[in-house]
Amino acid sequence: MSVTVAGIDCGTNSIRLMIVRLHGIINGGVDRDNLEIIVPRIMRVVRLGEGVDVHHEFSKEALERVFAAIDEFSQIISQHKVDAIRFVATSATRDARNRQEFENYIHSKLGIYPDIISGDEEARLSFLGATSVINVSKYQSPFLVVDLGGGSTELVLGGLGKDNCLQVKAEFSMNIGSVRMSERHNLSDAPTQTDIDAAIVDIDKHIEHAARVVPLADVRTIIGVSGTVTTMTAVALGQDVYEQNAVDGVHMPIDNVLEVDERVLRMSRTERDTLTVVHPGRRDVIGAGALVWSRVLEAVRQATAQSGFTVDSYVASEHGLLDGIVLDLARRTEMTRKK
């Protein structure tokens, strides 16, 4: 007996689809060895959150872009006999006043309404996806999963709990991300030092607030997920063309990526266009994303140094929210069948 599910992650900058088949569950959980990837991750940059931070609504152009992606995804899903679909919408949709048009279009194409999840639920699913491929014996716990999106950034601390299973211990969703910070502080094209300084103050305030909930000093392993993290890791590795296998799971010294983050942040848009490893749809916001990533890494390194254990590297991961969506949906669908 198996179940086939489709998951869609619609963020502020991009939308992703994955279809998987689960061949049984073990002790209420999902073993990735029992998970068959039917349609690997497909990503389209749609910039749904363009202007949402300022206007608090979706633009006509943004909706047209995301609707085209939904049309494409619905065609792909129709080619497979899926038992369940979950469409998850995150930061930009939480903030948009005119989201009903968006929701109705999804329902007309997929037969479901989107789940506009909270930051805490986004954090939980990101942690599930990121740690689903972790060899627990290889890394020190607790883990801090950092999911750096276009509109928000989730910090999720977790470690081994009962039955040697990974469990979330603390999480916080910060209302900062690559698109939001780029628009708010004019970071898309050779930003001035004044704009950079203002962005740093803004970002650091959010991190300080998050650190009251998530004890950064307890972190022993940082796992960075999302396009910003993997892209900046690829730049630090000197890639000209994105090579997923070389990025996924790589250990990157924090100092290495901080230097690259700083350089990319200060580039003009023309200079960023020479970074062929960066998706064209990310080039105007990658500097802002790099700055958020740098400030988070610095905050964790400083907090852990004060505790006597300095975290000076991170693990880049291709597995995050979308993986969590399909893993969670597959588990729940299978368990419902067994009742």
Residue-wise pLDDT for 243-279, tens only, equals: 999 999 999 999 999 999 999 999 999 999 999 999 9
**Cβ atoms 130, 223 nearer than 8 A:** yes
> Which pLDDT band, with edges at 50, 70 and 90, does 26 fall under?
very low
Query: Which of these, 313, 303, 131, 320, lies nearest to 204 by C-alpha position?
Result: 303
| pLDDT tens, position by position, 95-118 | 788 889 999 999 999 999 999 888
> Which pLDDT band, with edges at 50, 70 and 90, does 72 fall under?
very high
**Cβ atoms 41, 19 nearer than 8 A:** no
Residue 31 has pLDDT above 70, yes or no: no
> Region 193-212: what's the mean pLDDT?
98
Query: Which of these, 49, 262, 224, lies nearest to 152 by C-alpha position?
Result: 49
Task: Quote the pLDDT of residue 163.
Answer: 63
Burial (Cβ within 10 Å: 0-12, 13-18, ≥19) of residue 20: buried
Q: Which amino acid is at 159?
A: G
Lowest mean pLDDT among 47-51, 153-157, 254-258, 269-273: 47-51
Residue 338 has pLDDT above 80, yes or no: no
Q: Supply the mean pLDDT for the chain.
A: 91
**What are 177's two structure tokens?**
């991300």
> Which pLDDT band, with edges at 50, 70 and 90, does 70 fall under?
very high
> Which pLDDT band, with edges at 50, 70 and 90, does 51 fall under?
confident
- 64 or 166, higher pLDDT: 64
Strand arrangement of the beta sheet that strand 221-225 belongs to: 166-174, 153-160, 143-148, 221-225, 313-317, 251-253
Residue 164 has pLDDT above 70, yes or no: no
* Domains contained in the chain, CATH given: 3-118+322-338 (3.30.420.40), 134-317 (3.30.420.150)
DSSP 8-state symbol, 243: -
Lowest mean pLDDT among 72-76, 139-143, 264-268: 139-143
* Distance in angstroms (rounded) separating the CA atoms of residues 289 and 196: 12
User: Residue 325 contacts by C-beta under 8 Å, 6 or more apart in sequence?
Assistant: 7, 8, 9, 18, 86, 88, 125, 129
Residue 29 has pLDDT above 60, yes or no: no
